[in-house]
Chain A
Amino acid sequence: MSKLNLTRRGVLQTGVVAGAGLTLPTYLRAESHAGFTNAPTGDTVTLGFNVPQSGPYADEGADELRAYELAVEHLNGGGDGGLLNTFSSKALQGNGILGKKVEYVTGDTQTKSDAARASARSMIEKDGAVMITGGSSSGVAVAVQALCQEAGVIFMAGLTHSNDTTGKDKKANGFRHFFNSYMSGAALAPILAANYGNDRKAYHLTADYNWGYTTEEAVRTSTEALGWETVATVLTPLTQTDFSSYITPILQSDADVLVLNHYGGNMVNSLTNAVQFGLRDRMVNGKQFEIVVPLYSRLMAKGAGANVKGIFGSTNWHWSLQDEGSKAFVKSFGTKYGFPPSQAAHTCYVQALLYADAVERGGSFNPCAVGEALKDFEFDGMGNGPTLYRGEDHQCFKDVLVVKGKENPTSEFDLLEIVEITPVSQVTYDASIFGGELGACNPGA
Chain B
Amino acid sequence: MEAIILQVLNGLDKGSAYALIALGLTLIFGTLGVVNFAHGALFMIGAFCAVTLSRIISISHEVVDNTQTDFLGNPLKVDVPYVYDWFGQATGDALIDWAVPLSILFAIPVMVGIGVAMERGLIKHFYKRPHADQILVTFGLAIVLQEIIKYFYGANPIPTPAPDAFRGSFDFGAAFGFDPNVIIYPYWRLVYFGFAAIIIGAVFAFLQFTTFGMVVRAGMADRETVQLLGINIDRRFTLMFGIAAAVAGLAGVMYTPINSPNYHMGMDFLVLSFVVVVVGGMGSLPGAVLAGFLLGILESFASMREVLNILPGLNQIIIYLVAIIILLTRPRGLMGRKGVMED
Give bound CA distance, A272 to B259, whole Å: 7
B259 touches A334 (CB 8 A): no
Q: In the complex, which of the residues A272, A277, A411, A414 contacts B159, with contact meaning CB atoms closer than 8 Å?
A: A272
A319 touches B71 (CB 8 A): yes
Give bound CA distance, A56 to B300, whole Å: 25
Interface residues of A in 272-313 (CB under 8 A from B): 272-273, 276-278, 281-282, 299-300, 302-307
Give bound CA distance, A299 to B313, whole Å: 30
A59 at the interface (CB under 8 A from B): yes
Q: How far does the Cβ of A245 sit from chain B's closest Cβ, in whole Å?
A: 4
What are the residues of chain B within 8 A of A281 when measuring CB–CB?
A: 168
Give bound CA distance, A245 to B303, whole Å: 6
Complex interface bits, A390-426 against B, C-beta within 8 A gives 1, otherwise 0: 0000000000000000000011011000000000000
B305 touches A249 (CB 8 A): yes
Indicate whether A334 sits within 8 Å of B305 (C-beta atoms), given known contacts A239-B268, A245-B11.
no
What are the residues of chain A within 8 A of B71 when measuring CB–CB?
A: 319-320, 330, 334, 339-340, 411, 413-414
A244 at the interface (CB under 8 A from B): yes
A276 touches B186 (CB 8 A): yes
Report the tally of A-B residue pairs with Cβ distances under 8 A: 141
A304 touches B10 (CB 8 A): no
A26 at the interface (CB under 8 A from B): no
What are the residues of chain B within 8 A of A246 when measuring CB–CB?
A: 303
Q: How far does the Cβ of A73 sit from chain B's closest Cβ, in whole Å?
A: 18
**Which of A268, A307, A319, A413 has most B Cβ within 10 Å?**
A268
A300 touches B156 (CB 8 A): yes
B10 touches A244 (CB 8 A): yes
Q: In the complex, which of the residues A251, A265, A276, A300 contacts B6, with contact meaning CB atoms closer than 8 Å?
A: A251
Total interface residues on A, CB under 8 Å, equals 52
Interface residues of B in 229-271 (CB under 8 A from A): 257-260, 262, 264-265, 268-269
What are the residues of chain A within 8 A of B304 when measuring CB–CB?
A: 245, 249
A302 touches B156 (CB 8 A): yes
Among residues of A, the one whose C-beta sits closest to the C-beta of B297 is A245
What are the residues of chain B within 8 A of A299 when measuring CB–CB?
A: 156
Among residues of B, the one whose C-beta sits closest to the C-beta of A283 is B181
Give bound CA distance, A340 to B70, whole Å: 10
A193 at the interface (CB under 8 A from B): no
Among residues of A, the one whose C-beta sits closest to the C-beta of B259 is A269
What are the residues of chain B within 8 A of A265 when measuring CB–CB?
A: 157, 262
Q: How far does the Cβ of A204 sit from chain B's closest Cβ, in whole Å?
A: 11
Give bound CA distance, A300 to B157, whole Å: 8
Indicate whether A56 sits within 8 Å of B264 (C-beta atoms), given known contacts A237-B316, A340-B71.
yes
Complex interface bits, B282-321 against A, C-beta within 8 A gives 1, otherwise 0: 0000000000000000011101110010001101100000
A211 at the interface (CB under 8 A from B): no
A95 at the interface (CB under 8 A from B): no
Q: How far does the Cβ of B61 sit from chain A's closest Cβ, in whole Å?
A: 15
B158 at the interface (CB under 8 A from A): yes
Q: In the complex, which of the residues A59, A252, A305, A411 contacts B3, with contact meaning CB atoms closer than 8 Å?
A: A252
Q: In the complex, which of the residues B10, B259, B260, B265 contacts A248, with contact meaning CB atoms closer than 8 Å?
A: B10
Among residues of B, the one whose C-beta sits closest to the C-beta of A234 is B305
Give bound CA distance, A334 to B74, whole Å: 11
Interface size class of B (residues with CB under 8 A): 35 or more
Q: How far does the Cβ of B298 sit from chain A's closest Cβ, in whole Å?
A: 10
Among residues of A, the one whose C-beta sits closest to the C-beta of B306 is A249
What are the residues of chain A within 8 A of B168 when measuring CB–CB?
A: 278, 281
What are the residues of chain B within 8 A of A320 when measuring CB–CB?
A: 71
A208 at the interface (CB under 8 A from B): yes
Q: In the complex, which of the residues B68, B189, B313, B316 contacts A244, with contact meaning CB atoms closer than 8 Å?
A: B189
What are the residues of chain A within 8 A of B7 when measuring CB–CB?
A: 245, 248
What are the residues of chain A within 8 A of B262 when measuring CB–CB?
A: 56, 265, 303
**Which of B10, B301, B303 has most A Cβ within 10 Å?**
B303
**Which of A241, A248, A268 has most B Cβ within 10 Å?**
A248
A242 at the interface (CB under 8 A from B): yes
**Which of A208, A251, A339 has most B Cβ within 10 Å?**
A251
What are the residues of chain A within 8 A of B313 when measuring CB–CB?
A: 208
A303 touches B156 (CB 8 A): yes
Among residues of A, the one whose C-beta sits closest to the C-beta of B169 is A278
Give bound CA distance, A397 to B187, whole Å: 46
Interface residues of B (CB under 8 A from A): 2-3, 6-7, 9-11, 13-14, 17, 68, 70-72, 76, 78, 150, 154-161, 167-169, 181-186, 188-189, 257-260, 262, 264-265, 268-269, 299-301, 303-305, 308, 312-313, 315-316
User: Told that A269-B259, A305-B160 touch, could you supply 10 new A-B pairs with CB distance under 8 A?
Assistant: A56-B155, A241-B259, A248-B7, A249-B3, A252-B182, A273-B258, A276-B169, A300-B156, A303-B158, A305-B260
Give 26 pairs: A residue, B residue, CB < 8 Å, sorted on A.
Answer: A55-B264, A241-B269, A242-B17, A242-B258, A244-B14, A245-B7, A245-B14, A245-B301, A248-B3, A248-B9, A248-B10, A249-B3, A249-B304, A251-B6, A252-B6, A268-B259, A272-B258, A272-B260, A277-B184, A278-B168, A281-B168, A304-B159, A307-B159, A340-B71, A410-B68, A410-B78
Interface residues of A (CB under 8 A from B): 54-59, 208, 232, 234-237, 239, 241-242, 244-246, 248-249, 251-252, 265, 268-269, 272-273, 276-278, 281-282, 299-300, 302-307, 319-320, 330-331, 334-335, 339-340, 410-411, 413-414
The 10 closest A-B pairs by CB, nearest first: A305-B159, A303-B157, A58-B155, A245-B300, A248-B6, A245-B10, A245-B303, A340-B71, A278-B169, A244-B10
